[in-house]
Amino acid sequence: MLEYVARRLAMGVLTVLAVTVVLFLIMQLMPGDPIRLIADPDRIPPHQIEALRRQWGLDRPAHIQFIYWLVNIVRGDFGRSIVTGQEVRVLIATRMPFTLMLAVPALLLHYTLAVPLGLLAAIRSGSRLDRAIIVTTSALRTIPGFWLAILLMLVFAINLRWFPISGYQGPRSLVLPVLTLTLPMLGGTVRLTRAEVLETIREPFVLTAYAKGLTHNAVRLKHVLRNALIPVTVMFFLALPWLVGGSVIIENIFAWPGMGRLLWTAITNQDLPVVQGIIVIIAVLTVGANTIGDVISGMLDPRIRIELEEGR
């Protein structure tokens, strides 16, 4: 198991490295010269521009620049915002908690609703309840997030005045954005859970479990759910980075001071160091979550563990 974890971690580090290479190449290929952004060549003499170029290390060959950039990132130094001059590290550190404040409750709410609903739909498969669950969650899935956000604001913030309309003003501000993140995603997980449970119920080992004398509930809990939830658990970990990266639009609509909004502003202002910093963080989160997902699925399913330990 330890070897398996080590292997997954090594793979993860390599993946992040690949992402940084691609990110750096994109930066190099971007039109425009960062020095010109901070020093207007019409007003600054050429030798001073050259001095600036040397000072920022931009006269070095690309691969040397890449190594410097990478080493700095590893030390946690993502550079400074071109627009505000603040350290990117500090910017991200102040925004990240706000994004997690939305993402973590959204993810927990999503799974505490979706898994029991999926299980219920599977156990009552073919019934009216099953159809009601599937139709409702699928319909929610087709609603675009921005539209749902505006609808929720209109009903619960403007008409009913139950929750603040936007910004962060204490825990009550969480309700609407968390709902906006959660509701459209329910459909996928409900369907996955339902399909996995239905598939597992047909497995011969479930018949074995009944034959040895277990009750309905024991079979469902220990044999059906235990196996059906393996893919669902993996999806849980894959969803976290998506929530962090995918909250750009929602954070904007709710004027939420999180990473998504920071990324949005940075992109519109062409604030490259900030954009890079956020992308690297999202890449690390994605790879980290994937690795955790792999390790967890290995812990839950001994067959996967063996396959990965001995197969490759």
Query: Helical H runs in the chain?
Result: 2-29, 34-38, 46-55, 62-74, 88-123, 128-142, 145-152, 175-201, 204-211, 216-218, 226-245, 248-253, 259-268, 272-300, 302-310
Closest approach, Cβ 178 to other proteins, in A, equals 33
Closest approach, Cβ 300 to other proteins, in A, equals 7
85 vs 302, which CB is nearer to other proteins? 302
110 vs 223, which CB is nearer to other proteins? 223
Closest approach, Cβ 138 to other proteins, in A, equals 25
- Cβ neighbourhood burial of 80 (10 Å; 0-12, 13-18, 19+): middle
87 vs 301, which CB is nearer to other proteins? 301
171 vs 302, which CB is nearer to other proteins? 302
147 vs 205, which CB is nearer to other proteins? 205
Q: Evaluate whether 150 touches 159 at the Cβ level (below 8 Å).
A: no
Closest approach, Cβ 281 to other proteins, in A, equals 35
> Cα 26 to the chain's mean position, in Å?
22
CA-based angle 234:279:256, to the nearest 5? 85
52 vs 300, which CB is nearer to other proteins? 300
Closest approach, Cβ 303 to other proteins, in A, equals 5
> Cα 135 to the chain's mean position, in Å?
26
Point out which residues bind other proteins (CB under 8 A): 203-205, 207-216, 222-223, 226-227, 230, 300-303, 306
Closest approach, Cβ 230 to other proteins, in A, equals 8
Where b means 16+ CB within 10 Å and e means fewer, 251-285 reads bbbbebbbbbbbbebbeeeebbbbbbbbbbbbbbb
